[in-house]
Amino acid sequence: MSKRTLRVSKIRNGTVIDHITRGHALDVIKILGIDGRAGGVVTIAMNVPSEKLGVKDIVKIEGRELNPEEVDKIALLAPHATINIIRNYRVVEKQRVKLPSVIYGILKCVNPSCISNSGEPVKSTFYVEQEEPLRLRCHYCGRIIEREDVLKQF
Amino acid sequence: MNAVRFEGRDIISIRDFTRGELDYILNMASEMEEVAKRGSDMLRGRTLASLFFEPSTRTRLSFEVAMQKLGGTTIGFAEPDISSIKKGETLADTVRVVENYADVIVLRHPLEGAARFAAEYARVPVINAGSGAEEHPTQAMLDLYTILKEKGRIDGLDIALMGDLRYGRTVHSLAYALSLYDVRLYFISPSMLRMRREVLDDIKGRVDVVEEENVEDVIPKIDVLYVTRIQKERFPDLSDYEKVRGSYRIDLNLLKGAKDGLIILHPLPRVDEIAPEVDATPYAKYFKQVWNGVVVRMALLALVLGALE
């Protein structure tokens, strides 16, 4: 077994998040609320050589399959990532994350005076103006939110 | 401009308008000058509801007069304290009740994005009469109209916006509107009240923008000076307000270096940012803006209610 395969060893059941933009592995961990206390093996690899990206980060999570909302959240911070669902050491599902042009519900506007932060029946709505660096505009108040603002919410 | 259709349209943000549409509105406003003097029954049988969740006299009176000059009627409230809002009703519910009484809703609300939100619930057109520190699109339209009427054009002018550029909603809408024209903009403010980044990002690349702290340096260069009040109620910390108040005051001494054709505008109310001695000069156009507001709002009401094509 080469050193290379050791570094990114296989998992039995769970999720491999590949092609994360370099430097964003810990952001992905944070956004998924992973703190290690759930018990499964979590492997984080940073600055791994990649043909597509030059270097990339990888996160492997044993015993957890991501749901679509979690995949959308990853897209906010790592728009090139691919998600591999692993069962019994085999990739059973492979999908590329895709940032939708409009993001409903998962984020809060940073503007405390925005109507979307009031008691009204309203679902937060953001338009993706730019993927990298991330730039979202609130549909209601027009406020711009960026990567740091998104990270603070998870 | 045959493709422009305004009937049923909400007036929420100046960002929703193209230059062609703004020019069309200004043109219609000009045609309303005569109608405003003699009155009309263009909107007879139609009702405007003015829902003012924040104090305002000017804007509300202006809309109501505009409606009445076109033969329509008005209902509404100016004191949310005495209405059902005090009982905890949501804006979404208020709008769905009021739309049964009215053909158009004019809304002022302290929260940003409130007008956009209300329009999603209302079946009748909603006109934003000011939402928090965000936008005041009809004020921007009447400001454009005043510049056009007084200077004969908007393109080619050097225009300064001065005062509270961070919290002043009128300057956000106006800066965006002006960026659709071929102008140079000067933003004059204390550093803590600089123009919001969102606005700067939006207009960057379309027009030249110069940010200045010192008004004296800019006065000789400009054709239009738009002055705004430093609004006490926008400051979370009153000591910050005390630091900047009165630091920008226009008086005759300051105007010595001005171009002959300079015009001074102000959305009103003013406190002490323009000395009363300036009122009698040919520069002062701020009271003329008030009339212009009526004709611009007449044009908008007639357009969204389908009485004008």
* Predicted complex ipTM: 0.85
The answer to whether the beta carbons of residues A74 and A17 sit under 8 Å apart is yes
**Cα dist from A17 to A5, A27, A70, A102, B176, whole Å:** 16, 12, 11, 23, 42
What mean pLDDT comes out for the span B161-176? 91
| DSSP per-residue letters across A57-118 | EEEEEET----HHHHHHHHHH-TT-EEEEEETTEEEEEEE----SEEESS---S-TTBGGGS
Measured over the CA atoms of residue B76, residue B81, residue B86 and residue B90, the dihedral's sign is positive
Contact A141 B112 (CB under 8 A): yes
Q: What is the mean pLDDT of chain A?
A: 89
Q: What are phi and psi of B172, to 5 degrees?
A: -65, -50
Question: Which residue matches tokens 């611009």?
Answer: B296
Mean pLDDT of A61-66: 92
The pLDDT value given to residue A1? 43
Domains of chain B in start order, with CATH, are 14-135+291-304 (3.40.50.1370), 137-289 (3.40.50.1370)
pLDDT, tens digit, 9 for 90 and up, residues B258-288: 999 999 999 998 888 999 999 999 999 999 9
Mind listing the pLDDT tens digit for each residue in B22-37?
Answer: 999 999 999 999 999 9
Shortest CB distance from B114 goes to which of A115, A121, A137?
A: A115
Mean pLDDT of chain B: 92
Long-range pairs for B100-103: beta carbons < 8 A, 24 or more residues apart: B101/B47, B101/B49, B101/B75, B102/B47, B102/B48, B102/B49, B102/B75, B103/B46, B103/B47, B103/B48, B103/B72, B103/B305
Q: How confident is the model at residue B192 (pLDDT cuts 50, 70, 90)?
A: confident
Q: Which residue, among B94, B116, B235, would best test binding to A if mutated, counting the most A CBs under 10 Å from its CB? A: B116
Q: Is residue B116 annotated as part of the catalytic site, yes or no?
A: no
- CA dihedral defined by B276, B277, B279, B281, rounded to 10 degrees? -170
Percent of chain A exceeding pLDDT 90 equals 56
Give CA–CA dist B168/B225, Å, rounded.
15
Q: Is the pLDDT of residue A7 over 80?
A: no
Mean pLDDT value across residues B133-156: 95
**Contact between B112 and A118 using a beta-carbon 8 Å cutoff:** no
Whole-angstrom distance, CA of residue B83 vs CA of residue B131:
19
- In this complex, do A140 and B198 lie within 8 Å of one another by their Cβ atoms? no
Which among B47, B58, B184, B221 is annotated as catalytic? B58
Residue B134 has pLDDT above 80, yes or no: no
Q: Is B188 exposed, middle or buried (0-12, 13-18, 19+ CB in 10 A)?
A: buried
pLDDT in the model for residue B86: 65
Question: Is pLDDT of A64 > 60?
Answer: yes
| Overall average pLDDT of the B166-174 stretch | 89
Cα–Cα dist A24/A56, whole Å: 9
Q: What is the mean pLDDT of the segment spanning B6-14?
A: 96
Would the CB atoms of B132 and A113 count as touching at under 8 Å? yes
| Confidence check: pLDDT of A4 > 60 | no
Q: Measured between beta carbons, which residues in chain A are less than 8 angstroms from residue B13?
A: 142
Residues of B in contact with A140 (CB under 8 A): 112-113, 116-117
For residue B82, the model assigns a pLDDT of: 63
In the prediction, which pLDDT does B30 show?
98
Inter-chain residue contact B113 with A119, CB threshold 8 Å: no
Q: Is B108 marked active-site? A: yes
What is the distance between the alpha carbons of residues B255 and B263, in angstroms, rounded to a whole number?
A: 11
Residue whose C-alpha is closest to residue B170's, from B133, B199, B144: B133
Please state, in angstroms and rounded to a whole number, the distance separating the CA atoms of residues A111 and A149. 11
* Alpha-carbon distance B118 to nearest alpha carbon in chain A (angstroms): 10
- Is A8 a residue whose pLDDT tops 80? no
- Kindly tell me the burial class for residue B83, based on how many C-beta atoms sit within 10 Å of its own C-beta (0-12, 13-18, 19 or more): middle
Residue A120 CB neighbour total at 10 angstroms: 18
Question: Residue B73 burial (CB < 10 Å; 0-12/13-18/19+)?
Answer: middle
pLDDT at site B84? 63
Inform me whether the pLDDT recorded for A33 exceeds 50. yes
Cβ neighbours around A109 below 10 Å, total: 25
Q: For residues B245 and B248, which has the higher predicted lDDT (pLDDT)?
A: B248
Q: Which domains does chain A have, with CATH numbers?
A: 14-96 (3.30.70.140), 102-152 (2.30.30.20)
Burial of B209-219, coded b for 16+ CB within 10 Å and e otherwise, reads beeeeebeebb
pLDDT confidence of residue B234: 67
- Whether the pLDDT of residue B1 is over 90: the answer is no
Whole-angstrom distance, CA of residue B220 vs CA of residue B208: 17
pLDDT average, residue stretch B204-229: 94
Q: Are A59 and A19 in contact (CB under 8 A)?
A: no
Q: Provide, as residue numbers in chain A, all residues whose Cβ is less than 8 Å from the Cβ of B90.
A: 119-121
- B146 is a catalytic site residue: no
Model confidence at B95, in pLDDT bands (50, 70, 90)? very high
What strands lie across the sheet with B47-52, from one edge to the other?
B73-77, B47-52, B104-109, B126-131
* Model pLDDT, residue A116: 96
Per-residue pLDDT at B2:
47
Work out the pLDDT band at B191, boundaries 50, 70, 90.
confident
The answer to which of B42-46, B115-119, B195-199, B224-228 has the lowest mean pLDDT is B195-199
**pTM for this structure?**
0.87
Q: Cα–Cα distances in Å, from A141 out to B102, B115, B127, B193, B285?
A: 26, 9, 15, 19, 31
Taking alpha carbons only, the member of B130, B150, B152 closest to residue B139 is B130
Q: Which two tokens stand for residue B235?
A: 């400051």
The crossing angle, in degrees rounded to 10, of helices B169-178 and B137-151 is 50
